[in-house]
A and B are shown apart, each in its own frame.
Chain A
Amino acid sequence: MKTAVQTEARARSIRLWITSGPGLFWIILFLLIPSIVLLGIGFFTANDYGSPVLPLTTTPFQQVAGFSLLGWDDGNIIILLRSLEQAVIATVVSALLSYPIVFFIMTRPAALRPLLLLFVILPSWTNQVVRTYAWLELLGPNAPVTWLAHALGIVPPDLGIAPGAFAVTTGLAYNYLPYMIVPLYASAEKLDWTLVEAGRDLYASGIRLFWHAVFPQTVPGLLSGVIFVAIPAFGDYIVPQLLGGDKSLMIGSLIANQFTETPDWPYGAALTIITLVFTGAGLVAFRILTRRIGGSGEATI
């Protein structure tokens, strides 16, 4: 005969499966299994068509580290650093742009705010490729912005801003801006205005008032935004592919190339796994760091 305690424990475990099951299923199907498959492919040898064949080898991972038949090459390290740099700049730019936008929306009448927020999110409902092509036009050789760049001597005549590193930064910051604005808005909406009054009461105004009384309250949203922007920007494929050109190759494009243009599946798989490891490590490091600098400021996703 079952005791009440056993029945209760059983019910609890059923509840646990029902609530966490779908999420677990999703992660296993779309993250874990593909990653394991890729990890496996990473240990095969590429044949002439780039497909994985036996024997098993660690060559793809050596390729990732920069070793090839021609000796060591810093190409991959540069691409990795460039991806990191682009992700950091895009994150900083989108954060700087988000604050004025968020506070503009917040100070509008309550009825208008959801609409304004919708305008922020709306572009991300259209295809990223289409929007990136639009930027290609906007920053191309015959665009007004480019004329200005020509006049200032930033870009040589006859060339556009795109393709180029600056165009990539612009494209990334633009593309992931909503992912910064939304979490930031969520935390700014909960802003305790009494703290702002306390700041004013204690002789703070202007930028110092913002820095001491407003900014700390938005840190949780900002940190979420940083994660939402930095990680996808780091591995973005479309923006560097369309706006980057040959000299602005990023990790996403490098991986894609191994499955399309110059097929080498095992090398592409190894690159993917290493990128995944880097991203995961970065995420963990970021969490530890933010937990250390501010007890209340831990990033929530």
Chain B
Amino acid sequence: MPESMTSPPPPVSAAPRGAISLSGITRIFAGAIPAVDRVDLEIQAGEFFTLLGPSGCGKTTLLRMIAGFETPDAGRILISGREMQDVPAHQRAVNTVFQSYALFPHLNVEQNIGFGLRMQGVKSPERKKRVDAIMELLQIGQFATRNAAQLSGGQRQRVALARALVNEPEVVLLDEPLSALDAKLRNELQIELLRMQKRLGMTFIFVTHDQHEALVMSDRIAVMSKGRLQQVGPVLDVYEKPRNVFVAEFLGLSNIWPINPLGGGLAETAIGRLQITTPIGAERLAMIRPEKIWIFNADNTPANTPNVFPGIVREAIYMGAATQYRIELATGGFILAYDTNNQAAERSWRAGEAVAVELKPNNIMLIDA
């Protein structure tokens, strides 16, 4: 085979196939603030890992450095334990699903999918077998001879995925692959993508700005902002125990108040005195998710329970499965609360009604600014 098949560098560590290790990765464009700033990250083999963050946070740049389209200004990338410093994109056992799909317009579906194999010198009987197998897996066999321009968004997305998977790469990189699709199709493909990943056991690194998508799909999430990793962890941890205000707010709605520790698990806040289970350390903010707040009718307020505050519903937004309430507390300030609509309508409250809210002490998290 031609130049592309020079042997990869020898492993420098005994990391399994598909594991990625980033250390001190920095990328600075034209002297501005770093797009990616000293990122250290370990991604396990076979993991569905998501880089989550707002646009411009550096997540795509990070992905492009793993793919080899960008070179880090500092730091080290290991893929399957091999140093990637001097390995160009076309020699990395990594394949990308692009946001725009980037299907070759002059090739049909079959040829698009077989392109990577062809470039690697896989000859036709074997190549056709593998292309057919992946097309069957993704249910796109009936489009084999169609041109990319004749496909719908969802079909294109499947072809782009097939084109990456057919090479059996060590790592699959997905750059917002679902962002161009409508909500229903997106949900379907999220699940399909997830099943595909579990079935093939490949490492997937998924870039998105959609927190819901990140929650649905990932084993672990890295939340990025301004080129820095804000928090890395399993989905549950990142959502339930955010480290700082950015993570808390990016992953969903939250109530956040500055605290003034009083000792004995008590703290003074804008809504009143709160009892908190978590030992109060250096953090100076308390956070609680709206769905962790219990709402009671005013005449049914629990007695002898900590963190119960009376208030008046100021806004009730019906959202189908749940209703979002904005409640003005008697002690001052507003609180955001969710209540699932799993009961008959009489359990809903209207604007102006008197209620009481309970913030269970173990649901209150302490976070950094």
B71 CB → nearest A CB, Å = 13
Q: How far is the CA of A286 from the CA of B323 in the complex (A)?
A: 66
Map CB proximity to A onto B77-95 as digits: 1 under 8 Å, 0 otherwise: 0000000000011110011
- Contacting B102 at CB < 8 Å: which of A195, A206, A219? A195
Does B147 lie within 8 Å of A198, measured CB to CB?
A: no
Question: Which A250-269 residues have a C-beta within 8 angstroms of B?
Answer: none
A203-B4, A212-B115 given; name 16 further pairs at CB < 8 Å. A192-B102, A195-B102, A198-B96, A200-B89, A201-B96, A202-B119, A202-B167, A203-B90, A203-B120, A203-B167, A205-B3, A205-B4, A219-B106, A294-B106, A296-B106, A296-B149
In the complex, whether A66 has a CB less than 8 A from a CB of chain B is no
Q: How far is the CA of A209 from the CA of B3 in the complex (A)?
A: 12
Give the residues in chain A near B102, CB-CB below 8 Å.
192, 194-195, 197-198
Give the residues in chain B near A194, CB-CB below 8 Å.
98, 100, 102
Give the residues in chain A near B100, CB-CB below 8 Å.
194
Interface size class of A (residues with CB under 8 A): 20 to 34
- Contacting A208 at CB < 8 Å: which of B2, B67, B106, B149? B2
Give the residues in chain B near A206, CB-CB below 8 Å.
3
In the complex, whether A40 has a CB less than 8 A from a CB of chain B is no
Map CB proximity to B onto A270-301 as digits: 1 under 8 Å, 0 otherwise: 00000000000000000000000011110000
In the complex, whether B69 has a CB less than 8 A from a CB of chain A is yes
Map CB proximity to B onto A179-201 as digits: 1 under 8 Å, 0 otherwise: 00000000000001011011111
Map CB proximity to B onto A202-246 as digits: 1 under 8 Å, 0 otherwise: 111110110011001001000000000000000000000000000
- Can you spell out 29 A-B residue pairs with CB atoms less than 8 angstroms apart? A194-B102, A197-B69, A197-B89, A197-B102, A198-B103, A199-B104, A199-B115, A200-B69, A200-B90, A201-B67, A201-B69, A201-B94, A201-B95, A201-B96, A202-B95, A202-B115, A202-B163, A203-B4, A203-B119, A203-B167, A204-B119, A205-B3, A205-B4, A205-B88, A206-B3, A208-B119, A294-B106, A295-B147, A296-B105
Q: How far is the CA of A296 from the CA of B67 in the complex (A)?
A: 29
Give the residues in chain A near B103, CB-CB below 8 Å.
198
Q: How far is the CA of A294 from the CA of B3 in the complex (A)?
A: 29
Nearest A residue to B150, CB-CB: A295
In the complex, whether B58 has a CB less than 8 A from a CB of chain A is no
Question: Which B1-32 residues have a C-beta within 8 angstroms of A?
Answer: 2-4
Q: How far is the CA of A295 from the CA of B108 in the complex (A)?
A: 11
A167 CB → nearest B CB, Å = 38
- Contacting A216 at CB < 8 Å: which of B4, B89, B106, B120? B106
Nearest B residue to A197, CB-CB: B69
Give the residues in chain B near A294, CB-CB below 8 Å.
106
A200 CB → nearest B CB, Å = 4
Does A200 lie within 8 Å of B88, measured CB to CB?
A: yes
Nearest B residue to A294, CB-CB: B106
Nearest A residue to B95, CB-CB: A201
- Contacting A212 at CB < 8 Å: which of B69, B104, B120, B149? B104
Q: How far is the CA of A208 from the CA of B68 in the complex (A)?
A: 18
In the complex, whether B141 has a CB less than 8 A from a CB of chain A is no
B61 CB → nearest A CB, Å = 13
Nearest B residue to A202, CB-CB: B116
Q: How far is the CA of A45 from the CA of B63 in the complex (A)?
A: 78
Does B119 lie within 8 Å of A216, measured CB to CB?
A: no
Q: How far is the CA of A294 from the CA of B119 in the complex (A)?
A: 22
- Tell me which of B88, B91, B119 has the highest count of chain A C-beta atoms within 10 A of its own C-beta: B119
Q: How far is the CA of A209 from the CA of B106 in the complex (A)?
A: 14
Nearest B residue to A198, CB-CB: B102
Give the residues in chain A near B104, CB-CB below 8 Å.
195, 198-199, 212-213, 216
Question: Which B149-168 residues have a C-beta within 8 angstroms of A?
Answer: 149, 163, 167
Does B106 lie within 8 Å of A204, measured CB to CB?
A: no
Give the residues in chain B near A212, CB-CB below 8 Å.
104, 115, 119
Give the residues in chain B near A296, CB-CB below 8 Å.
105-106, 149
Give the residues in chain A near B115, CB-CB below 8 Å.
199, 202, 204, 212
Does A201 lie within 8 Å of B119, measured CB to CB?
A: no
Does A209 lie within 8 Å of B90, measured CB to CB?
A: yes
